[in-house]
DNA sequence: CGGAGTGTTAGTCG
DNA sequence: CCGACTAACACTCC
């Protein structure tokens, strides 16, 4: 599930927890999630110190000593949950049905144990997520496959116009989710950004006016930052590294609100399918 | 019980 | 190259 704000929340939380720690032990409970040959993976990761944690698009990048990088993609239902050696964990009482009180659980696919006995759990219900180990060269290759980061300085109006010029004949919604042009927007935030810019998700890119493009360009980073401030949007599968749910779901204006009243007018939020994805919008507010 | 839907993205097909 | 569609998987909802 996680899109840019959720991954960013996880990354910044993780940074304070595991930077500088040594990976002492690894338990792979489901070989499918390790996209690198298991023996190589263990041999190269065990004993390494975590140097830094960052994000590219929706990928968590954990830099290890000696220029090795652990890449983690959570896809739809992945979680990273940190557990200190002593003290409480985790998501007790939160609406995460399958987490229960104890980890690991049946969805725990991998466990990293650090030298202070704290643990990082990779949980994933649907098993689409993955962890892979790459070197510097491959890291750069993978990073290069993604488009501009919408929270970076390089995301200028000109750059956004350039992106749209690549996808003139598709719907704007599909375009916003195209990771090779714009990194990090998924189904939730593309719907929300389009609502904020008062543009219907079905609009074909080349029909957008300059003013609409500008409004959309402004809306994207604004909404992402606002969501990060609230630790992301929580659905059933998302928690941050401390097992906490985010709050941003309270601020969603269209996503998941089909049939409910629009906050901007008296209309109803509609839901249709675009490119196989549920898309939410207000027929009155968005044109 | 059966079928549709779910936050992602690779891969295929026309 | 484009765009549309599907599969990967497990679970929830109607």
CA–C1' A32–B3 (A) = 28
Determine whether A5 is an active site residue. Answer: no
Q: Strand C-proximal residues, CB under 7 Å?
A: A 32, 75, 97-98, 106, 125-128, 166-171, 174, 236, 275-276
CA–CA distances in Å: residue A102 to residues A62, A98, A139:
25, 10, 34
Determine whether A95 is an active site residue. Answer: no
Q: What pLDDT shows up at residue A238?
A: 67
Q: Please report, rounded to a whole number, the percentage of residues in chain A having pLDDT higher than 90.
A: 83
Name the pLDDT band for A86 (thresholds 50, 70, 90): confident
pLDDT digits over A89-98, tens only? 543 333 343 3
Q: What pLDDT shows up at residue A122?
A: 95
Q: What pLDDT shows up at residue A242?
A: 72
- pTM given for the model: 0.93
SS (H, E, C) A22-87: EEEEEEECCHHHECCCHHHHHHHHCCCEEEEEEEECCEEEEEEHHHEEEEEECCCCEEEEEECCCC
- Whole-angstrom distance, CA of residue A267 vs CA of residue A39: 57
CA–C1' A277–C13 (A) = 18
Of residues A176, A182, A187, A191, the one with CA closest to residue A159: A182
Name residue, tokens 């993978």: A142
Show the tokens assigned to A209: 């006016």
Q: What pLDDT shows up at residue A232?
A: 86
- Whole-angstrom distance, CA of residue A268 vs CA of residue A280: 10
Q: What pLDDT shows up at residue A90?
A: 43
Q: What pLDDT shows up at residue A235?
A: 60
Residue whose CA is minimally distant from B9 C1': A75
The answer to whether residues A42 and A64 touch, using CB atoms and an 8 Å cutoff, is no
Is the pLDDT reported for residue A236 higher than 60? no
Main-chain dihedrals φ then ψ at residue A266, nearest 5 degrees: -90, 0
**A249 is near strand B: CB distance < 7 Å:** no
Is the pLDDT reported for residue A101 higher than 60? no
Q: What pLDDT shows up at residue A237?
A: 61
Q: Which whole number is the average pLDDT over A236-260?
A: 82
pLDDT digits over A163-204, tens only? 999 998 999 999 999 999 999 999 999 999 999 999 999 999
- Whole-angstrom distance, CA of residue A60 vs CA of residue A57: 8
Three-state DSSP state, A88:
coil
Show the tokens assigned to A285: 């507010």
**A236 is near strand B: CB distance < 7 Å:** yes
CA–C1' A182–B10 (A) = 18
Name the pLDDT band for A245 (thresholds 50, 70, 90): confident
Which of residues A133 and A242 earns the better pLDDT score?
A133
pLDDT digits over A35-78, tens only? 999 999 999 999 999 999 999 999 999 999 999 999 999 999 99
Average pLDDT over chain A reads 90
Contacts of A207 by beta carbon, 8 Å cutoff, 6+ apart: none
pLDDT digits over A14-35, tens only? 999 999 999 999 999 999 999 9
Is the pLDDT reported for residue A243 higher than 80? no
Is the pLDDT reported for residue A107 higher than 90? yes
Determine whether A104 is an active site residue. Answer: no
CA–C1' A82–C6 (A) = 35
Is the pLDDT reported for residue A246 higher than 90? no
Determine whether A2 is an active site residue. Answer: yes
Is the pLDDT reported for residue A229 higher than 50? yes
Q: What pLDDT shows up at residue A94?
A: 32
- Whole-angstrom distance, CA of residue A236 vs CA of residue A95: 7
Which nucleotides of chain C are near protein (any atom < 7 Å from a CB)? Answer: 2-12
Is the pLDDT reported for residue A121 higher than 80? yes
């Amino acid at each position: 599930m996680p899109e840019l704000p959720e991954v960013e929340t996880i990354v910044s939380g993780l940074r304070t927890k595991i930077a500088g720690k040594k990976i002492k032990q690894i338990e792979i409970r489901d070989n499918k999630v390790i996209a690198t040959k298991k023996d190589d993976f263990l041999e190269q990761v065990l004993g390494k110190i975590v140097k830094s944690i960052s994000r590219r698009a929706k990928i968590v990048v954990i830099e290890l000593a000696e220029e090795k990088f652990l890449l983690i993609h959570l896809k739809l239902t992945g979680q990273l949950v940190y557990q200190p050696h002593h003290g409480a964990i985790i998501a007790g009482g939160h609406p995460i049905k399958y987490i229960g009180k104890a980890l690991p659980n049946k969805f725990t696919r991998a466990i990293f144990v650090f030298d202070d006995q704290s643990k990082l759990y990779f949980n994933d219900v649907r098993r689409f997520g993955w962890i892979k180990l790459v070197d510097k060269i491959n890291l750069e290759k993978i990073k290069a496959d993604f488009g501009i980061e919408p929270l970076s300085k390089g995301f200028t109006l000109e750059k956004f116009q350039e992106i749209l010029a690549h996808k003139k004949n598709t719907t704007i919604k599909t375009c916003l989710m195209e990771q090779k042009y714009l990194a990090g927007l998924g189904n939730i935030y593309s719907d929300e950004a389009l609502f904020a810019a008062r543009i219907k998700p079905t609009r074909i890119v080349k029909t957008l006016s300059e003013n609409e493009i500008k409004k959309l360009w402004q809306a994207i980073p604004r909404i992402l930052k606002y969501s990060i401030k609230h630790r992301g949007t929580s659905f059933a599968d998302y928690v941050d590294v401390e097992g906490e749910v985010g709050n941003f779901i309270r601020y969603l204006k269209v996503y998941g609100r089909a049939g409910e009243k629009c906050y901007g007018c008296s209309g109803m939020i509609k839901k249709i399918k675009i490119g196989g994805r549920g898309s939410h919008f207000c027929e009155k507010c968005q044109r």
